[in-house]
Structure 1
Amino acid sequence: MLAAIGLDDTHEAAYRALVSAGAAEVGELARRLTLAEPDTERALRRLERQGLAAQSPARPGRWVAAPPGVALGALLTQQRHELEKAELAAAMLAQEYRAAAAEPEVHDLVEVVTGASAVAQRFLQLQLGAAQEVCALVTARPLVVSGMENEAEEQAAVRGVRYRVVVERAALDLPHAVTELTAALGRDERVRVVDRVPTKLVVADRSLAMVPLTSTTAEPAALVVHASGLLELLAGLFESVWREALPLRLGAFGVAEEEPDGPDGTDLEVLSLLLAGLTDASVAKQLDLGLRTVQRRVRRLMELAGVTTRLQLGWHACERGWVTRS
C-alpha cells in the first residue's frame, strides 16, 4: 500500500512491525519478518534514511518507528511535489514537441499511430485519460484490441467515467463476448447492438477520437483525431449509430436485446415532476421511490427517446406526447 511513496513490501513490513511493536531489536524484528538479521538491518537503515525509523537513544540496540502522521505525511508531500514537477515537465515537453513539428497546425489535429503495440498503447491511453465519458463502436473484426476485453474499462469505471458502446451483432458470436458484455453491463455501462457499425471508433470526452486506418500492409495503423471539425463528425457518427441501436440488458438467461417500448405510468410521473423542476432526490421522495430507481428510469426514458441529455428528453417528451403542453 505504501509503494507509491517508495517503500517496497519488505520495507513496508518492517515499518509496520516497528509501529506495532513500539520498539524492537534487530533479532526480534528479523524473527517477526522471517528475514535474516543482515537483511533486516539493511531494511532498518533504509527506513532511517527516509526518516521512518531511528535507533532509540533511551534503549540502546533497539529501533523505534517515527510517528506515521508526521513521517508518512512528509513523504506524501514530497511525492506530490515530484508529481507536480513531472506534470510541468510533461507540459513543457508537449509544447516543445508541437513547436518542433514540421506542420504544427496539422499535427495538432491529426496523428497517425503505426504498429500493433503502438495502437494498443494509444487505445489504452485514450481510455485512461478520459474524465467523463468514453463512446465506442465495436465491430466483429478486432485487429489489435477487442473493444470489450480491456482492463482500462474497469479502471475508468472506478473513476466514474461513463461508457456508451454499440456492438455489431456479429460480435456477439465472438469467443467470450457474452462474458465480457455481462461484465460491462455489471459495471453499469450502457451497451447497444446493431446489425452493422460503419467502423471501429472510440471517442473520449468528445476531445479525442481514434479510428483504424485500412492499409494494404500487414502492419496495423490508426488515426488519432484531436478537437476539430473532423472530431465533431466522428462524434456525430457515433450518436447516429447509437440512436438506431437496441439496448442490451442482463436477463434471467444472460445478455438479451430489449425492444424499446413506451414509458409506463411511473415513468410519466417521474418525467412530469422533473419537468416541473424537481430534483431526482425530490422526485424519489414525492413518489416514494429509491433515488437509484428514479435515476434508472430517467436513463431508460433517455434511451427510449434516443437522446443523451435531459434537456433533449424534455423536448422529445413533448413531441411524442408523453407529457401535455400547458
Structure 2
Amino acid sequence: MLSAIGLDEGQESAYRALVALGAAEVPDLAHRLTLPVPQTERALRHLERHGLAAQSSARPGRWVAAPPGVALGALLTQQRHELEQAELAAVLLAEEYRAEAAEPDVHDLVEVVTGASAVAHRFLQLQLGAVEEVCALVSGRPQVMNGSENEAEERAAGRGVEYRVVIEREVLSLPSGLREASTALGRGERIRVTEQVPAKLVIADRSLAMVPLTARTAEPAALVVHASGLLESLMGLFEAVWREALPLRLGADGMLDAEGGGPDATDLEILSLLLVGMTDASVAKHLELGLRTVQRRVKGLMETAGVTTRMQLGWHAYERGWVAR
C-alpha cells in the first residue's frame, strides 16, 4: 500500500510494526517480522532516510516510529509535487510534439509493431493510457492481442474507463469465456454478442486504435493507427457492429445470459400494448406491474435494440420479428 512512496514490502512491514509497538530494538523487530537481523537493519536505515523512523537518543539501539500523520504527509506532499512536475513536463512535450507534427506525414499516422512482447506492451499502453472509453471487437480466434487475458482491462475499468466490447459467440465457448465475460459484466463493462466480427480491433478514446496483422508469418504483429481518416473509419466499423450485436447480461440469478438478451414474454406484452398507443402507466396497470418496472423494461429493450427513441424501438421490434404488423 505504501509502495507509491518508495517502500517495499519489508520496509512497509517494519514501519507498521514500529507504529504498533511504538519502539523496538532490532533483534526484537527482526523476530516479529521473521526477517534476518541484517535485512531488518537495512529496512530501518531506509525508513530513517525517509524520515519515518529514528534511533532513540535515550536508549541506543532502540528504534522509534515517526508519527504517520506528519511523516507520511510530508512524503505524500513531495510525491504530489513530483507528479505535478512530471505532468507539466508531459504537457510541454505534448505541445512540442503537436507543434512539430502539425502536418504529419502519412507514415506517421500508422505504425507497425512486431514481436509478441512488443505487441503485448503496446496493447497494455493503449488501455492504461485510456481516459474515457475503450471499444473492442473480440474474435474467438486466439491471438497475441487478447483483451480478456490482459490485466490492464481490469485496471483501466477500475479507474472509471468505460468499456464497450463486441465478442463473437464462439468466445463464450472457450474454456474461460463465460467466466471472464461474467467478471467483465460484474465490473460494469458493456458486452454485446455477434456471430462474427469483421476484424479484431481495440480503440482507446477514439484517438488511437490497434489492429492485429494476420499475415502468415511466425512473428506476431499489429497495426497502431493514430488520429486520422482511417481511425474514423475504424470507429465507424465498430459502431456499426455494436448496433447490430445483441447485449450480453447477467440474469437475476447472477448467471450469464448467453443468448443475447432478447425480449421475454413480459417484454413482448409491454411492446404490443405500447404499439397500440397505451401509456406506460396504462400498461403497468393492465399488466399489474409497477410503473418503474415497465419503464425499466422499455429501457432494457432500447438497449437490446441499440436505439435511442421509442419510435426506433417500434421499427426495430417489427424488423426483428418481436411483434406482428
Q: For residue 104 of structure 1, give the secondary structure of its aligned residue in structure 2.
A: coil
Letter in 2 for 1:54: A
Residue 54 of structure 2 is aligned to residue 54 of structure 1: yes
Give the Cα–Cα distance (whole angstroms) in 2 for the partners of residues 10 and 42 of structure 1.
10
1:215 deviates by 2.4
Aligned to 1:257: 259
Conserved in 1, the CA contact under 8 Å of 2:302 and 2:313?
no
Letter in 2 for 1:11: Q
Give the Cα–Cα distance (whole angstroms) in 1 for the partners of residues 296 and 154 of structure 2.
21
Give unmatched runs, 5+ long, in structure 1: 274-286, 322-326
Residue 215 of structure 2 is aligned to residue 247 of structure 1: no
1:237 deviates by 0.8
Give the Cα–Cα distance (whole angstroms) in 1 for the partners of residues 23 and 180 of structure 2.
51
> Over residues 28-85 of structure 1, what are the superposed CA-to-partner deviations in whole Å (9 max), with x where a residue is unaligned?
3233223344433332222212111112234444322111111111111222233334
1:238 deviates by 0.9
Cα distance change of structure 1 residues 27 and 221 upon mapping to structure 2, 3 Å threshold: closer
Aligned to 1:104: 104
Conserved in 1, the CA contact under 8 Å of 2:192 and 2:260?
no
TM norm structure 2: 0.77
The CA RMSD over aligned residues, in Å, is: 3.5
1:254 deviates by 4.4
Counterparts of 1:78-157 in structure 2 under 5 Å?
78-90=78-90, 104-106=104-106, 108-157=108-157
Letter in 1 for 2:39: D
Give the Cα–Cα distance (whole angstroms) in 2 for the partners of residues 298 and 131 of structure 1.
31
Give the Cα–Cα distance (whole angstroms) in 2 for the partners of residues 288 and 18 of structure 1.
59
Q: Percent identity?
A: 70
> Over residues 265-305 of structure 1, what are the superposed CA-to-partner deviations in whole Å (9 max), with x where a residue is unaligned?
59x8xx979xxxxxxxxxxxxx796xxx8997576244134
Give unmatched runs, 5+ long, in structure 2: 282-289, 318-325
> Over residues 203-248 of structure 1, what are the superposed CA-to-partner deviations in whole Å (9 max), with x where a residue is unaligned?
1221221112342433222222222222221111111111111222
Letter in 2 for 1:256: A
Give the Cα–Cα distance (whole angstroms) in 2 for the partners of residues 164 and 149 of structure 1.
16
Letter in 1 for 2:7: L
Give the Cα–Cα distance (whole angstroms) in 2 for the partners of residues 209 and 298 of structure 1.
34
Conserved in 1, the CA contact under 8 Å of 2:193 and 2:260?
no
> Over residues 137-175 of structure 1, what are the superposed CA-to-partner deviations in whole Å (9 max), with x where a residue is unaligned?
111223213333322222122122222211122333333
Give the Cα–Cα distance (whole angstroms) in 2 for the partners of residues 320 and 133 of structure 1.
27
Residue 56 of structure 2 is aligned to residue 34 of structure 1: no
Cα distance change of structure 1 residues 110 and 99 upon mapping to structure 2, 3 Å threshold: farther
Letter in 2 for 1:64: V
How many residues align? The count is 298
Q: For residue 148 of structure 1, give the secondary structure of its aligned residue in structure 2.
A: helix
Cα distance change of structure 1 residues 38 and 167 upon mapping to structure 2, 3 Å threshold: closer
Q: For residue 257 of structure 1, give the secondary structure of its aligned residue in structure 2.
A: coil
